[in-house]
Amino acid sequence: MKSHYQILVIGGGSGGIMTTANLLSKDKSLDIGLIEPADWHYYQPAWTLVGGGTYDFEKTKRSMASVMPKGVDWIKDYATGFNPEGNAVSTKENGDITYDFLIVSPGLVMDTSLIEGLTESLGKGVVCSNYTDPKHTWEVLRNFKGGNAVFTQPTTPIKCGGAPQKIAYLAADYFKKNGLKNKSNVVFATPGSVIFGVKEIRESLMQVISKYGIHFKPFYAPIKIDGENQMVTFKGVGTGENKCVINEDNELREVMSGEQIIEMPFDMLHLAPPQTAPKFVKESSLVNDAGWLDVDIHTLQHNKYPNIFGLGDVAALPTAKTGAAIRKQVPVVSDNIRQLIAHHKKGNKSYNGYSSCPLVTGYGKMILAEFDYDNNFIPDPKLKQMLVFNSEKEHWRLWMLKKYGLPYLYWNKMMKGKEV
């Protein structure tokens, strides 16, 4: 194994593979090494559909070897630390590897220790998560006989911020279709103040919530899970008028105590676990105060080390952490590095914070949220032309895009480094 590369990439997820493939498609002579220990690469956006029983889990995975771009050296190892002054990355098995340019895209990790009781409860009984085991979610959903079906998310940033609510809509639709609607209370509890940050999408989603009769609970931050006794504890994070309120009829059987501490029984609990940057990144000199990779939000170049770039879920970017965001970040990183190699100055491509969230709102229905750093709704003109309708409204064509179009695009275009 070589100990130096012109370009060293950390991460065999969407960001690392797509950027590597894009760079090599532009210039085959580039000398690139990619550090990634995993045997499998997963198309995680389909895990929502797996959890709803409408997609085969096995179709979401491919061998890492099959997605590695031709011409890259795959270093099957763990990155363990950085020495940015010495232009080196340390690894578990291969010692230090040096670089001219470094691309950091290892994704993020689940940290169940950040919610009391979650480590012991997750994946057992009726406590499930599409983020960790979507097949178990489907099992819990299928076996649900009524009561409180609670869906929630943590206070940390998470990948695909819409995923915790998508499964709530699928569950509500499933209960409706299977005669359980009148026996069920579907609850969506979030630490956030609104269901979605983009006005056009928020208005459509509030109609979806109303249609299903979902109990929407803003300012609810989960702090404790008791899987054995099927009780979730929330802390109210609102102030003044935004304090958590228990409805008069209290059909959810909530109990409030002390300073906005709410206990809620559940017969099914789905949550996104708290998420952070991987330990070797979080404990390095490359992060901001919040523990995410400190890069310029438009150029994706590190704010302190000009030969380091970062993209994907690990990057400190004020936009949603999605594969669609990575799709728009890749050309910026690729262009900047190639321009620096050729002309010793960055290119002029700039990332505007584009991200998109395909919000499944039921079986055969979807809304497509596309937005930028300022939460402007910015539908892709090519897509709008193809769909001939507004993507902020529910439509079956968008469901077809989610179930068939996007996976095809991912494996056959994006993973090959094509700019789409």
Q: What are the residue numbers of the active site?
A: 160, 357
The tokens 């970017």 sit on which residue? 317
Q: What is the CA radius of gyration of the chain?
A: 22
Whether the CB-CB separation of 16 and 103 falls below 8 Å is answered with: yes
CA distance 200 to 193: 16
Task: Indicate the SS3 state at residue 115.
Answer: coil
Whether the CB-CB separation of 87 and 99 falls below 8 Å is answered with: yes
The contacts of residue 414 (CB under 8 Å, 6+ apart) are 14, 18, 323, 327, 420
CA distance 10 to 8: 7
The contacts of residue 270 (CB under 8 Å, 6+ apart) are 51, 128, 129, 130, 137, 140, 149, 150, 151, 152, 164, 167, 168, 171
- Phi, psi dihedrals of residue 273, rounded to the nearest 5°: -65, 155
Whether the CB-CB separation of 97 and 8 falls below 8 Å is answered with: yes
- Phi, psi dihedrals of residue 89, rounded to the nearest 5°: -120, 130
DSSP 250-311: -TT--EEETTTEEEEE-SEEEEPPPEE--HHHHTSTTB-TTSSB-B-TTT-BBSS-TTEEE-
Calculate helix-pair angle for 163-177, 134-143, nearest 10 degrees: 30
Whether the CB-CB separation of 390 and 378 falls below 8 Å is answered with: no
Whether the CB-CB separation of 261 and 121 falls below 8 Å is answered with: no
**Distance of alpha carbon 409 from the chain centroid:** 18
